[in-house]
Chains A and B, each alone.
Chain A
Amino acid sequence: MQNEQKSSIADKPVSIIYSWLGDRIFLTVVVALGLSIILLAGAMAWVLTDEAGMALDEFGIIGFLKGTTWDPGVQFRFGALPFIVGTLVTSVFALAIAFYPAVAVAIFIAEYAPRWLGSIIENLVHLIAAVPSVVIGIWGIFVFAPWMRETFYMPIFLWAADHQPALLPILGSPIGYGMTTATIILALMIIPFTTALTRDAIRQVPKEQREAAWALGATKWEVIRMAVIPYSRGGIMAGAILSFGRAIGETMAVAMLIGNKNNFPFSIMGPAATMPSVIVNEFREAVGNLHLSSLMAIGLVLFVISLIVNLIAAYVTRKLSITGGQSI
């Protein structure tokens, strides 16, 4: 074998088919495969728009987005507003809850923890980020939601019933499955993700930046405050935006915990619904074409919102060239 190869290189000039045509074919195949990813993204936009057409024709784009009634049973009227609001409210509050603790853990890993502890926690964070959504969901259904009901919702509800009956409609029914429960679980689920991205951003801070602050006589916290955080601010921002995108699309755990009730307006403790949760819950059982098409239209809205969030994150990431969440 060795001999043959040697002689073939020495005797024959490399055939033009082997080199020129081979390169051509290889490049064509590779570009075709790459193109198919671009096509896939295009197909997603096109298919969702196409399938949503019926519902959007029936109610109009603005009408669909503004509609507050979702009634697949009697009136056959579909409006997306409750789900859009449900998604945005849960995601915004989840990010608000998750952001500071996640950044704190990242700073702790990067700056304070001894190296061995830091790497253990970092691996742990990546591991937790990989836990399937349904597994968190089953814990939420059987442990967390009942616990929240007994510890917080019932006492608050009973107190309000005695002293402030006006609050009751705002608080909602204390069944345990609802907006607040889902938001807290959502926050827990995006913390590892935000932490990992923040950690990536802090890793980009050059050593000189810190040393300069040390040289001015700063304390450890002042180094972080004056040198590390300002330098990685953009990366942390991009991480927060990506985490927000994660929260928007998080489906199973939220569907299991939010109670899935689309009566608008929502209450604090009471059941609600989000865009992914309504798709998961109703798509399998949807019979009417209009109902299916309306669910696809919800998917389209979700697609557009995710697209905007991801493109903003891509823009911020490119401006600051941190790794775009690829470590997870």
Chain B
Amino acid sequence: MLDDFFVRALIAGLGVALVTGPLGCFVIWRRLSFFGDTLAHAALLGVTISLVVNMNISLAVFIVSSVVALILLRLKKTTNLTGDALLGLLAHSSLALGLVVLGFLSFIRFDIMGLLFGDILSVTKIDLIVIWVGGLAIILILKLIWKPLFASTVNYDLAAAEGMNPEKADIIFTILMAAIIAISIKMVGLLLITGMLIVPAAMARNLSNGPLQMVFFSIIGGLLSVLIGLFTSLKINSPSGPSIISVALILFILSLIVTKKNYKIFK
């Protein structure tokens, strides 16, 4: 069964959606969408490095994205530049570096479109292992740091004052963001990863009253987007990443109608 590329893509996609659901909620709550973009831009540098030293793409992307994320945390403390200026600086300089290195690799045939928009054909069995083992690890760690991370999202000072150690939780969360980008890059492509994080979570917000409820709906929305998106992509031969995000967008629009009627699924 796993020899069928479509089954592999489906399993991979569902694994990714399971993780982007909860992480996407935090991205929205903490206003980190541009941060996700920055890590995705940096991912290109990771991909080129993986080509140069012949390393697993996800691992290389994870390392580069983590380093960029940690540099960002450091710069935030040591410079007076605003957060979005720092993000732009890191996003575009790492993208530029990645493209320069890629330019030197003319001897390697590489599908840049697949990298940007995702390619279901390219998902291998090893990718499946990376996605599911990595994904479950991310969910487990997120569950462990949930309380301090959520407290620090609501109010950093309050969390710090009451012994929640929010700084540690924030750093771990940053690493988890790098990890989800690393494992989902093949499926969704680096231009659309942030969309996979944000669109289902935004849809979920329209349906929820509480934080856990929003996480639940965000996961459901992600899973549905992957399922419908991939089948559509197979039927009409559209690129996989954009198809998934388009379905997520449709779900979001439907959720707006629900909100407009001021009807919450659970009162």
Q: Answer whether A and B are interacting partners.
A: no
